[in-house]
Amino acid sequence: MNMAKYWYDSYFPYENINLTKDEKKAIDKLNRIGIGYFRPLVTAILSRRYVSPESRVKIFDAIERFIFVVFRLGRFNASYGSSDYYRASRLVYKGEM
């Protein structure tokens, strides 16, 4: 599967005609807050077309809350839990999660 297109979409959601308005807004908010180590997970989620747009928005909103609470309010190190995010990205990519 060509993941480059989904990687690009995670940076420039408003250029993708296949994303819903809510998905574009949620990804844009992630980019503004600092998506960091979650970009591979967002990319993997975007590549799974069987995941409904509503479910993707819920996932993106949960990621945004986590980033805000843990990294912005809690001031945890930016690499906190990064191996877990990468592992989840791999599982989503392989269709195991």
Cβ neighbours of residue 36 closer than 8 Å, sequence gap 6 or more = 67, 71, 78
Query: What is the CB-side half-sphere exposure of residue 30 using CA atoms within 13 A?
Result: 30
pLDDT digits (tens, 9 = 90+) for 7-33: 999 999 999 999 999 999 999 999 998
At 74 the pLDDT is 61
Whether the pTM exceeds 0.85: the reply is no
pLDDT digits (tens, 9 = 90+) for 28-69: 999 998 888 888 889 999 998 888 999 999 999 998 988 888
Share of the chain above pLDDT 90, in %: 45
- Cα separation, 39 vs 43, whole angstroms: 6
- Cα separation, 60 vs 64, whole angstroms: 6
DSSP H helical segments within 34-78, as ranges?
39-47, 53-66
